[in-house]
Chain A
Amino acid sequence: MPHEHDDHAHHLLPSDPELKLKALERILLDKGLVQAEAIDEIIDSYAHKIGPHRGAELVARAWTDAEFKARLLQDTDGVLAEMGFSGRQGEHVVIVENTPECHNLVVCTLCSCYPWPLLGIPPSWYKSDAYRSRAVAEPRAVLAEFGLVLDEDVSVRVWDSTAEIRYLVLPMPPENISELGWQEAADFVSRNAMIGTAIAAKPRQAG
């Protein structure tokens, strides 16, 4: 049984976080506990391969293909597996659909859980103490700071990702979107719209 409560060993490392990383990485590489090629692969995956373009493809296909949307909502994990969009921090995904009556917003108050295979690594603001503390208690005020002011008669449904279910918001489609192909429609889908801090917008306005 390991000693579980060694909560201060980190104070032995340099306090500057970049130097802390260098020291820890050096020790792990020298001991063979971590290989350099694995570090490079993980960074490359999240820096270049896995990101919000995947979620945007899902949303755009759902907007432009009713049969796809029905399958996506009914068998989300199955469709993600087919598309090669499964993986770490997205093993169990639920897609929540915005309607004229209800706006969905995703947060993780306890840490910063987020659908990595669909949106990549969460942005700084999503991981901030301010978002984690305020999104559940005053979602409308937070949304207003993002520039999204909801009508009083729209209800807000906040999803606090406390377990291993990961949530992705399906924003409402812009008008006439179904006339476009999904590749063009995907330009209207921003990362923030799939978290719930924005709505789908023209590409130039996407935030």
Chain B
Amino acid sequence: MAGAHTPHPLSRNLPHDLGGQTGHRYDFGAVQADEPVFAETWHGRALAITIAAAAHGKWNLDASRHARELLPPEDYARFSYYDKWLSALANLLVAHGLVTTDELASAAASQTAPPLPASLTARTARKLIGSGGPTQRPLASPPQFETGQRVRTKTPAETAQISGGHTRLPAYAALKTGIITACHGGHILPDSHAHFKGEAPEPLYTVSFRASDLFATANARDEVRLDLWQSYLEPAAQ
């Protein structure tokens, strides 16, 4: 699947920002409708321990995503999907003091302990799956932009709150002009939340871009829409 590829010129060298890269191949024609949910038994277990370990509340979903983005690029490129999850989980467990590097190295717990009160049970797991974690939040002030307004994006390096930090502005959509098509109210800002700097909710907008403004070879009829936070955007000439 991963081959020699060309990163986007505005890429910050984080390996996950794939939109518009070239050189990746997959045989979409061979996709089977009845592909099993978990191709290998360990895939389901990897997903389950990742969800269960996060229930301790030591990190949030944005931090979990960022831990996968921070895997060394060579690991990101060669690891399978659930291998990325497991490796990022191991790093989070160590970074947050739940597991030691000695325990990872010996593949054994250094001491046994009774289940913590916060450990997920079957019942609370069902509840967690059924309720999730809504990210909509009240706003302190009304949204700056209106539907129909033209806006211009910044760059991922500008929107990320720390160098190399988490952001949801893909490189291919940097420094582009688009039109607001919806405002979704206030949402937790992942750029802050992933780094434990608070939820910092901001208005979240859907912004429509002409595909040909993003990619030189795109069909002029086509459109790409992204959900972008207010601080990613500046007003553009109408």
Q: A27-B103, A162-B170 are in contact. Are A37 and B21 (CB under 8 A)?
A: no
- Of A23, A32, A133, A161, the most chain B CB neighbours within 10 A belong to A133
A30 adjacent to B125 (CB under 8 Å): no
B128 touches A46 (CB 8 A): no
Query: Contact at B131–A41, with CB atoms within 8 Å?
Result: no
Q: Please give, as numbers and ranges, the residues of chain B lying within 8 Å of A152 by CB-CB distance.
A: 221
A179 within 8 A of B: no
Pairwise interchain contact B37-A146, C-beta atoms closer than 8 A: no
CA separation between A93 and B105, bound complex, in Å? 42
Evaluate whether A88 and B132 lie within 8 angstroms (CB atoms) in the complex, with A10-B90, A161-B227 already known: yes
Whether B48 and A162, one on each chain, are in contact in the complex, defined by CB atoms closer than 8 angstroms, is: no
Judging by beta carbons under 8 Å apart, are B170 and A109 in contact?
yes
- Which residues of the partner chain B approach A129 to less than 8 Å between Cβ atoms? 1-2, 5, 18, 21, 24, 26, 77
Q: How far is the CA of A33 from the CA of B110 in the complex (A)?
A: 13
Residues of A within 8 A of B91 (CB): 6-10
Interface size on A, residues (CB 8 A): 97
Is B135 in the interface zone, CB < 8 Å from A? Answer: yes
Interface pair A17/B86, CB less than 8 Å apart: yes
Q: Which residues from B are CB-within-8-Å of A175?
A: none
Contact B223 A158 (CB under 8 A): yes
B57 at the interface (CB under 8 A from A): no
- A133 to B5, Cβ gap below 8 A? yes
A 157-189 contacts with B by CB, 8 A: 157-165
Q: Does A132 contact B (CB under 8 A)?
A: yes
Q: Is A35 interfacial (CB 8 A cutoff)? A: yes
A100 interface hit (Cβ, 8 Å): no
Residue B225 interfacial (CB < 8 Å): yes
Interface pair B68/A158, CB less than 8 Å apart: no
Residue in A45, A90, A110, A139 with the greatest tally of chain B CB atoms within 10 Å? A110
Contact of B226 among A5, A35, A162 (CB under 8 A): A162
In contact, B131 and A27 (Cβ under 8 angstroms): no
Please encode chain B, from 176 to 190, with 1 for each CB lying within 8 Å of some chain A CB and 0 for all others: 000000001001101
Chain B residues with CB under 8 Å of chain A are 1-2, 5, 16-22, 24-26, 28-29, 31, 33, 35, 37-40, 42, 44-49, 51-53, 55-56, 58, 65, 68, 70-72, 75, 77, 79-83, 86-91, 93-99, 101, 103-105, 107-109, 111-116, 119-122, 124-126, 128-136, 168-170, 172-173, 184, 187-188, 190, 195-196, 204, 206, 211, 214-215, 217-219, 221-229
**Could you list 16 A-B pairs, sorted by A, with CB under 8 Å?**
A1-B196, A6-B94, A9-B90, A9-B94, A17-B79, A21-B45, A43-B48, A46-B47, A91-B135, A110-B16, A110-B170, A130-B1, A130-B24, A133-B5, A158-B222, A165-B227
